[in-house]
Amino acid sequence: MLSAPFFDPLKTYYQNWEEGPFNGFKDGVVLDEGPAQFDFLGTRISYPLGIPAGPLLNGKFVKAALDKGWTVPVHKTVRSHAHPSNEWPNVLGITGIDGDLTLERAKDPIVVKPEYKEPLSITNSFGNPSYEPEVWMNDLKDSISYAKPGQLVMCSFEGTKREGMSPEEYVQDWVNGMQMMKDAGVKVLEANLSCPNEGAASLLCFDVPKVKLIATAIKERIGDTKLVIKIAYFSDAELRELVSEVGNIVDGFAAINTIPAPVVNPDGTQALPGAHRVKSGICGHAVKWAGVDMVRRLAELRSELGMRYAIVGSGGVTVPDDFREYRDAGADLVMSATGAMWNPYLAKEIKEKYPNG
Ligand SMILES: Cc1cc2nc3c(=O)[nH]c(=O)nc-3n(C[C@H](O)[C@H](O)[C@H](O)COP(=O)(O)O)c2cc1C
C-alpha cells in the first residue's frame, strides 16, 4: 500500500531541500541494521539494498534513509558549481500505463498528473540541480557520519558543459567533481552519465569513446576509490561495446536511470514547462523490465568477458519480490527510488521476506 511520500511533489526541489524529508521519513522510528555479511566493492555491508541517486536531496534525507534500513543510500547528483533546478513541477504520477513502458510505447505521449496509485510509476524532471560544492561537501560529510556499521553512503556527480569550455576542460570538470566527493569521504563514487532531463539530444553514456575518456581520467585521479557509472537502457550491441571498452576501467555499472518519453497533461498539452522538457524520464513499476534486463545482460557479459565489475540494479522495485527478481538476474546491490519514496518501510519488508538477501 502506498503511504504519503517522503519527498513532497507539491513542493519545489528547494522547499523539499529546506523542509524535508516528510511523512514516514520523519516518524522517528530507527530500525536496527543487522551484521555486515555482504561485500560491495570492498566494503562490508549488512544488506544489498539502497536508494539510488535522486530522492535523497541532502544529509537529512540520507539520515532518514539509513534509519529506515536502506543500507546503501546514494546522495542526489551534485555538480562542480551551483546549478538551478528545473521549474516546478518535478514529479508527477502516471496513471495510464499498468504494464511495461516498452521503448516502442515510450515514443507516444504519456499522460501524467498529480495522482499516485499502484502499480506505481512516475516521471521526474529536475535537471540535476546542485548547490555550491562548499554546501554539498559539508552536507556529504554529515551524511557519511550518520552511517552505522554495515551501512555505506554513496554520492553521484555529473559534469557540466559550460559556455566556451574545451573538451579537455569538460573532462576535467568530471575529474574535479569526483575528487571533491572523495575529499568529503565518499568511498564509492557514482558518475551520472544518463540524465535524460537536460534536453541533450543523446545521453552521454551512449558515446562510448567519451565515456572511456572520462572514466579513465577519473580513475587516474581517484586511484583505489571505487567508481560506478550510472547508465541508461542499452541495446545488446551497444552494451557489449560499452562493457568491452570500460568494464575493466570502472568498478561497477548502475542501471537503469529512467526511460525518457513525451509527457502530456490529460488534455494533451505539454505537461512540464520549458522547451527542453517535452520528454521526461519515467521511473517506477513501468520500467522494471528494462532494469532487470540490463542487470541480466551485464551479468552475462561479466562472466563471458571474465570481468569483475559490480552490478547495481534499479528501476521499478516497489514490492519485495521485485528485489528478488533483481538479485536472481545478478544484481550485487538493488536500489529503489520511486518505491522507497511512497513506502519508507519497503526496506524492512524486503529484509523480512528475504533475510539472506
Ligand atoms: C525524484 C527522483 C530524482 C532522481 N534524480 C536522479 C539524480 O539526481 N541522479 C540520477 O542518477 N538518477 C536520478 N533519478 C533516477 C533514479 O536514480 C533511478 O535510476 C530511477 O528512478 C529508476 O528507479 P526507480 O524505478 O526505483 O525510481 C531520480 C529518480 C527520482 C524518482
pLDDT-based confidence at residue 133 (cuts at 50, 70, 90): very high
Alpha-carbon dihedral 326, 330, 334, 336, rounded to 10 degrees: -30
- Pocket flag, ligand 1, residue 316 (CB < 6 Å): yes
Sign of CA dihedral 118, 331, 231, 8: positive
For ligand 1, whether the C-beta of 60 sits within 6 Å is no
Q: Global pTM? A: 0.98
Q: Is the pLDDT of residue 195 over 90?
A: no
Predicted confidence (pLDDT) at residue 86 exceeds the cutoff of 80:
yes
Decide: 77 in ligand 1 pocket, CB within 6 A: yes
pLDDT at 1: 82
Give tens-digit pLDDT for 304-333.
Answer: 999 999 999 999 999 999 999 999 999 999
pLDDT tens digits, residue range 3-23? 999 999 999 999 999 999 999
Pocket of ligand 1 contains residue 315 by CB under 6 Å: yes
Ligand 1 neighbour 318 (Cβ under 6 A)? no
The crossing angle, in degrees rounded to 10, of helices 320-329 and 346-353 is: 60
Residue in 16, 124, 272 to alter for ligand 1 test, most ligand atoms within 8 A of Cβ: 124
Nearest residue to 280 (alpha-carbon basis) of 266, 259, 255, 265: 259
- Average pLDDT on 162-190 reads 96
For residues 123-152, give the mean pLDDT: 98
**Which residue has a Cα nearest atom 30 of ligand 1?**
54
CA angle 260, 263, 267 (to 5 degrees): 165
Cα 55 to middle of ligand 1, angstroms: 7
Q: Is 121 in the pocket of ligand 1 (CB under 6 A)?
A: no
Q: How confident is the model at residue 197 (pLDDT cuts 50, 70, 90)?
A: low
111 and 94 Cβ atoms separated by less than 8 Å: yes
Q: What is the spatial distance between Cα 312 and Cα 303, in angstroms, rounded to a whole number?
A: 16
Asked whether the predicted pLDDT for residue 60 surpasses 90, the reply is: yes
Q: Which atom of ligand 1 is nearest to the CA of 317?
A: 26
Task: Examine the pLDDT at 341 and tell me if it is beyond 80.
Answer: yes
The residues near 186 (Cβ < 8 Å, ≥ 6 apart) are: 140, 144, 153, 154, 155, 225
What pairs with residue 283 in β-bridges? 122
Give, as one character, the DSSP assignment of residue 87. Answer: P
Does residue 53 line the site of ligand 1, with CB under 6 A?
A: yes
* Distance in angstroms (rounded) separating the CA atoms of residues 107 and 238: 20
Per-residue pLDDT band for 96 (boundaries 50, 70, 90) equals confident
Q: Is the pLDDT of residue 217 over 70?
A: yes
- Does the beta carbon of 344 sit less than 6 angstroms from any atom of ligand 1? no
**Quick check: CB of 284 below 6 Å from ligand 1?**
yes
Q: pLDDT at residue 246 above 60? A: yes
From CA 151, how far away is CA 22, in angstroms rounded? 22
User: Which residue has better confidence, 258 or 98?
Assistant: 258
Mean pLDDT, residues 103-126: 97
pLDDT (mean) for 287-296: 98
CA–centroid distance, residue 219 to ligand 1 (Å): 24
pLDDT at 199: 54
pLDDT of residue 200: 62
